[in-house]
Chains A and B, each alone.
Chain A
Amino acid sequence: MIRPGKMLRQVLKSIFKKPATTKYPFVKATMPDRFRGKLKFYPERCIGCKMCMRDCPAGAIEIVKVGDKAFECYIDLGKCIYCAQCVDSCMKKALESTKEFELAALDREKLKIKYDAKPGEVPKE
């Protein structure tokens, strides 16, 4: 049957429904388990093979040798495309994706993160 206002019933029904949107900044959004967010670096596991640097499509990651078997990691969040290829490439599992996603900053310098070489130390921002 051809008639106008086919969606009218649906529209009227929706008046009494809750909104489909979420109140994001007020209610924190949860990410799926496989989400690829900000990277985490475990300096004690790194052996400095630099495979992550070689495979990074954006050139966002840099591993620097600072001492005997000690490596520092620099990540530019502005360049990172969050593909997590470095996590796959790392043979020693020194890199890990986290669920952190609120990474915007007004200053470009603040996007450059340094993970110190000392084992056990909390990453500084």
Chain B
Amino acid sequence: MKFFGSGHGACPGCGLPIAVKTVLNVLEGKVFAVNSTGCLEIISSQYGKNAWNVPYIHSLFENAAAVAAGVEAALRAMKRKDEGYVVVFAGDGATADIGIGTLSGAFDRNHDILYICLDNEAYQNTGHQQSGLTPPGESTTTTPAGRVLPGKVGRKKDMISIAVAHGIPYVASSSVGYISDIRRKVKKAVKFEGAKYIQIHSPCVTGWGIDGSLSIKVARLAVETGLYPLVEYEYGKLTSVKKIKDRKPVEEYLKLQRRFRHLFTHERGREMIEVLQKFADENAEKYGLDLRKEE
């Protein structure tokens, strides 16, 4: 049975439908889907062309966590919890920027929900504006590379740590480049009672400026360079990390994408590449990403 698909209008190569299908299949469609405004909602919920074959609600941009809390509370109050899992699908802007208040509230109250942040690193639905999860050096329409500025200056907000700091039972990052990793983590997450957060790196072909056929390759490179570490926390403790055999330099990831193209010509490009490399190195250090000979 298909839980998501027929009629969705995502660009070919988009990571969103891949992630959503994987989550819904793992949970065998026993899902109450709560979606924030964004690309996913626009490509899947047009009136009369609904692509969801699970109960679905979209309310606003910034309130998916609170809406999910309400669905969960209602199911609990009405003794219908066995009907399914309450799962949020929200973009990075909805999660890390405009919706972080309701997200923090839902985490704080530890509602029994699985919150999936589909991280394509900018507001892609409105044409690629920067969000808190846009990495440094990326040229977006609101942080364009110009004569002076080399794209976004500033960090990618560390939502994983923010989620962990709430003391919720399960926090993980994953990637559309690693479907079996998503599958395993979702399966594990729903075993915990309380709030769960999984942030899934999801390529956007138009925003990132990549060929649709390169989505998986690019997503994998983000992991292989250490820019997007795949980690897992249970009750605040780091319990698993996807090790990397020969960590690649970040340039290999950057050079395939139009959003970073200016870094190879811009006056401050080198500097930004170094910032990103440092970011990857810090991740490697923090999580012990590098697979050493003896391991």
Determine if chain A interacts with chain B. no
Residues of A within 8 A of B (CB): none
